[in-house]
A and B are shown apart, each in its own frame.
Chain A
């Protein structure tokens, strides 16, 4: 996995420096803040989507029985829905992640990913008998989910930075459960800030605040 260190006066500058070195866009990378003070920010930027970044990439994964069955079932469902798309098993992921690719798949994602979430529920019900107890399948369309997770992680890092500077808690926009989870995971190891959720579904929001105040 390719990565590069970036330095700058602000988080944006540091990330941009690393992106230039990697020749990548923000879409395909994961950002980790290594060091931060008022004068300089140091980040480690890692390419998370090697297939998209390098089309000469690896060979597709060998079909394993379970993944292949699940993939074929989802492909069949899409066919019945009249959607022309390819389904592939994302290599090296646990739980099994199915990537749907094709043209004009916005309708499969829906508003704030709601249609995608519904598709995932239906897929899990369909393939349930092929899975172990508690095992689930993740469905992604044009890497929407992956991109969203990265976006909210970046939002979390920005919010954390602001909380450290001002000492005030920040309430983020309403998000889906997997997005809130990505934020909690991104901030869990930060000794200075903590995250918690407030409100009721579907308007549940993450609050990022100083750790002392939260405890």
Chain B
């Protein structure tokens, strides 16, 4: 799965936690897992800014920060990924 798609998936998980779809409880562990999946990709590891934002999102999740904050940090990672691509 390409990096952008993986980050979008993590964002969707966070948004589902924030919106409360009502069909299941999304735990911080699941969110953290989705973010870690993004960090494992060589494509994200290659762009320091992306890695930084993903690490921030992971920290925010484990610190119990609001889901919207985690989502915003992931959007920043997505933006940095696009930026990194256009520079290369």
List chain A positions with a Cβ less than 8 A from chain B. 117-118, 120-122, 124-125, 128, 136, 176-178, 180-181, 184-185, 195-197, 200-202, 204, 206
Q: Which of B8-58 contact A (CB under 8 A)?
A: 8-9, 11-13, 15-16, 18-24, 34
- Lowest 5 CB-CB distances: which A-B pairs, in order? A201-B12, A202-B12, A177-B19, A177-B21, A124-B68
Which residues in B have their C-beta under 8 angstroms from that of A181?
19-23
Which residues in A have their C-beta under 8 angstroms from that of B13?
201
Expressed in whole angstroms, the Cα–Cα distance for A177 and B21 within the complex equals 5
Which residues in B have their C-beta under 8 angstroms from that of A196?
23
Jot down 27 A-B pairs with beta carbons below 8 A, ordered by A: A117-B15, A118-B71, A120-B68, A121-B68, A124-B68, A125-B66, A125-B68, A125-B69, A128-B66, A128-B68, A128-B69, A136-B68, A176-B19, A177-B12, A177-B20, A177-B21, A180-B21, A180-B23, A181-B21, A185-B22, A195-B23, A197-B23, A200-B9, A201-B15, A201-B34, A204-B16, A206-B23
Q: Contacts A125-B66, A128-B66 given: A176-B23 contact, CB under 8 Å?
A: no
A50 to chain B, nearest CB (A): 26
B71 to chain A, nearest CB (A): 4
Q: Are B66 and A178 in contact (CB under 8 A)?
A: no
A126 to chain B, nearest CB (A): 9
Expressed in whole angstroms, the Cα–Cα distance for A125 and B67 within the complex equals 9
B87 to chain A, nearest CB (A): 22
A20 to chain B, nearest CB (A): 34
Q: Are B19 and A197 in contact (CB under 8 A)?
A: no
B4 to chain A, nearest CB (A): 12
Which residues in A have their C-beta under 8 angstroms from that of B16?
176-177, 201, 204
CB closest residue in chain B, given A133: B66
Q: Are A202 and B23 in contact (CB under 8 A)?
A: no
Among B13, B21, B24, B72, chain A packs the most CB atoms within 10 A around the CB of B21
Q: Contacts A118-B75, A125-B66 given: A201-B23 contact, CB under 8 Å?
A: no
Expressed in whole angstroms, the Cα–Cα distance for A184 and B22 within the complex equals 7
A178 to chain B, nearest CB (A): 5
Which one of B8, B9, B21, B71 lies within 8 Å of A178 (CB-CB)? B21
Q: Are B71 and A121 in contact (CB under 8 A)?
A: yes
Q: Are B68 and A176 in contact (CB under 8 A)?
A: no
